[in-house]
A and B are shown apart, each in its own frame.
Chain A
Amino acid sequence: MKYTVEDRLGKKLENNIHEAMNTTMSDEEKFSFAPYDPTAAEKTGYTSYSYWGSTLRSFAKNKMALILLFVLVILIAFTILQPYLPGQYGANTVNNYPMSGMQINNMAPTKDNAFVTVPEDTVLVASKVKGFDDWYAVTNVLASIPKRTDFTVTEYGGDWCKVTYKGQDGYVKNDKLKLPDDTSAVPFSCKSNFNVSLYSSMEDMTNPDTNSGGWLYIAASDTEDLGSGNIRTIRETTVRTYPSEYGFVFGTNKIGQDLWARVWSGTRTSLYIGFMVAIVEAFVGILVGILWGYVRALDRILTEVYNVLDNIPTTIVLILVAYIMSPSVKTLIFAMCLTRWMGMALFIRNQIIIIRDRDYNLASRCLGATPGQIMMKNLLPYLVSVIMLRMALAIPSAIGSEVFITYIGLGVPLDTPSLGNLINEGRKLFSGAPSLRYQLIFPTLVLSVITISFYIIGNAFADAADPKNHL
């Protein structure tokens, strides 16, 4: 029935509009008085005000909060999706250089491990990489020429000289070579007081970084096998410091774990803590708060209990619980919930007391509504907006508490990355070398974006939800 009425009205309206558009009014009609219509007068008596609609509209006016909401949604979505994206390292995997077996410790952030770009048709000396079938460990050093050994320069150039050594053609760096007076009269015999390397092309493709064991890697698909340990590039390609196209975007930590994976895994842990604390706080707080505010017999007792509990410093409770129980995410959530529900309960109680004795509740009671119905149907919906605000603010402060507890040394163990222990690990490093500060900066950046966003969005929402601002 409802739909047919709506349909009919909609059709009628549509027809009216079409009619009005199609008929052309004469000037006379346009300037004559319209007849009195009592139903038209009624129309202004109806307002399309809806609480949530107005709240959303006035929230949308706050551009800053809107942008941050967008950022936050993307950040949370990315945090959840990150492990399923291609090319991610494990958060707890210790990454080693495959050839030397050394940990990739404290590697600075790199986009794709690129070391140098090589052109097509470059001959390289390759060896297989254990565990990485699609990669070769390469170098373009064909041979090492011992010091004070003769070789023949066939072409003299600025930085590089083309030479022949033991029947092999190649290039050496034109650096500290013992050269004759006339370098243009090639070929001539030449030697160096140092060991020099014979390169296959005018490019030094050896990794000077001895920490990594001095190896570079190339994707097997970009090369063809020439046999006898040599390969040739079939297209322009990149030689990398690690056999993967996916770099350590945030670098690695001191034992070679990928900081990118750890930061997102830590964000997941911290957000999980934040959301859990907010939910438990809301649930317990609302339950106790409603009883406290609505049931008069409980008011006196609960107020006294609150006075006692509220006087115990929060920090002390957090520290004690974390100290007594074994450190884990659950312990942290428990400790934080233990202290936080009271604030929520008091807040709800104060709100309930304000609206408890309003006339509409009296009317409900006269009509036979049970206390349960009044609490759930009359009181609670009134408080939804303020509860949401409290929850939005509880998340950043729970994350902050986690950082604090970790800082004291009572946080979650290191194999569960959280923003707290990432920041703490980063902090321990920065006094050493300024080049390692990225290990502190990335987690703090993510943390700050999250906490500031929640804070601003929460406050903007509170303003928007206040009916005083709905005009």
Chain B
Amino acid sequence: MKSFLSDAAYFLFGSPTAKYIWKRLAAAVLTLAIILTIVFFLLRQMPIEGYFDNFDKMSEATINAELRKMGLLDPFPKQLGRFFGDLLKGDLGTSVKYRKGAAVATIIGEKCGISIAFGLSSMLFALILGLPLGGKMARSKIWDKCGTVFIVFVEAVPAAVYYIFIQMYGTDILGISMLFDKTKPLTWVLPVFSMALGNISYYAMWLRRYMVDELNKDYVKLARAKGVPGKKIISGHVFRNAFVPMIQYLPSSLLYTVCGSIYIESLYSIPGMGGLLVEVIERQDNPMVQSLVMIFACIGIVGLLIGDILMTVIDPRISFARKEGSR
């Protein structure tokens, strides 16, 4: 029993990987605190109209009284302290315009479900299409040419443009209405497809590059010399090795599904998180903008952290003792 405990303790605190993870965690918390402070400071610069839903009709005295009641006239460090205190309690503030008086956390809770559903299905779609495309591009000239045209198009043309055209002509061809309707399964197709396009090109491009690198390595030659069938070399050796560097970004992508896609959700009027940010910006609802920005920033950092940790866990050859390479 004692040895189990000490083993566990070593595994959790003593091993190099564990040490690295703890260090990263501490750094991430610190980074997060700094970023939240910066964002909080930036958000204090927002126009004060955004704190009231009937700003034009209010006198200066009432505005000042209200601002004082909200604590916005306090010195900055005091506001910041209160903000972090509330954050630890899980209180994100209340909306003033979008839905007056409702807690931001409640609104987000209602909204993020559909964003996650869309995000996950588009990710799945992108993986199913993007990985085989990348694999084919690494091996066949014709696929490489066609794939490159596709990738150049998706990378070079701003997403807004091809999203609009997909919506315009896609709805014509499928004969459905422009907007998303929960009850009609067909209206899921276009948003999911549009959201996946960028990721398809991303997965294809990187898998191709990593696979080309791997295909030139000695172990492939050895396997071929041994007489391992070509298909098995690709699926059993090359693909697995090439996929490792891509795993790093999967957790980020997964977490980012919570944020939803700003473009897609407002184009198709999907009641999710991405559209929400645009909407609260348009209506100048400061507390909502603030909490959403905070959440999006946190997700980015946490995603990167999990990605790095996942890499060390999956591929023991990778050591993060030194600074990892740039993406």
Interface residues in chain A, defined as those with a beta carbon under 8 Å from any beta carbon in chain B: 303, 307-308, 311-313, 315-316, 319-320, 323-324, 346-347, 350, 396, 399-400, 403-404, 407-410, 423, 427, 430-431, 437, 440, 444, 447-448, 451-452, 454-456
Contact = CB atoms under 8 A, between A and B. Distances in A.
Interface string B143-187: 000000000110111111100110010000000001000000000
Interface string B12-30: 0000000000000001000
A315 B263 CA distance: 12
B182 to A, nearest CB: 20
Contacts of A403: 158, 160-161
B158 A409 contact: no
B160 A311 contact: no
A440 B34 CA distance: 43
Interface residues of B, number: 39
B222 to A, nearest CB: 27
B164 A308 contact: no
B113 to A, nearest CB: 22
Given A346-B326, A407-B263, A410-B281, A447 B164 contact: no
A312 B35 contact: yes
B103 interface: no
Interface in B38-78: 38-39, 42-43, 45-47
Nearest to A453: B156
A404 B161 CA distance: 10
Cβ-closest 8 pairs across A and B: A400-B158, A455-B156, A452-B156, A403-B158, A403-B160, A451-B156, A311-B301, A313-B300
B160 A407 contact: yes
Contacts of B155: 455
23 contacts: A303-B323, A307-B27, A307-B31, A308-B34, A312-B38, A313-B296, A316-B297, A324-B42, A346-B326, A347-B326, A350-B326, A400-B159, A403-B161, A404-B263, A408-B278, A408-B281, A423-B160, A423-B161, A423-B164, A437-B168, A440-B164, A451-B158, A456-B152
Contacts of B159: 400, 404
Given A452-B157, A455-B152, 10 more contacts: A312-B39, A312-B297, A313-B296, A324-B42, A409-B281, A444-B164, A447-B158, A451-B156, A452-B153, A455-B156
B262 interface: yes
B80 interface: no
A308 B45 contact: no
Contacts of A319: 277, 281, 293
Name the prevailing secondary structure of the A interface residues. Answer: helix
Nearest to A450: B156
A399 B39 contact: no
Contacts of B215: none
A452 B297 contact: no
A87 B128 CA distance: 54
A392 B247 CA distance: 30
A451 B35 CA distance: 33
A404 B160 contact: yes
Nearest to A406: B160
Contacts of A316: 39, 293, 296-297
B218 interface: no
B165 A444 contact: yes
Contact of B156 (A323, A396, A423, A440): A396
Contacts of A427: 164
B326 A315 contact: no
Contacts of B326: 346-347, 350
A324 B45 contact: yes
A315 B165 CA distance: 23
A396 B158 CA distance: 8
B109 to A, nearest CB: 21
Given A311-B300, A324-B45, A409-B281, A448 B161 contact: yes
B289 interface: yes
Nearest to B299: A313
A407 B262 CA distance: 10
A409 B156 contact: no
B31 A311 contact: yes
Nearest to A451: B156
Contact of A308 (B35, B46, B293): B35
B43 A408 contact: no
A440 B46 CA distance: 33
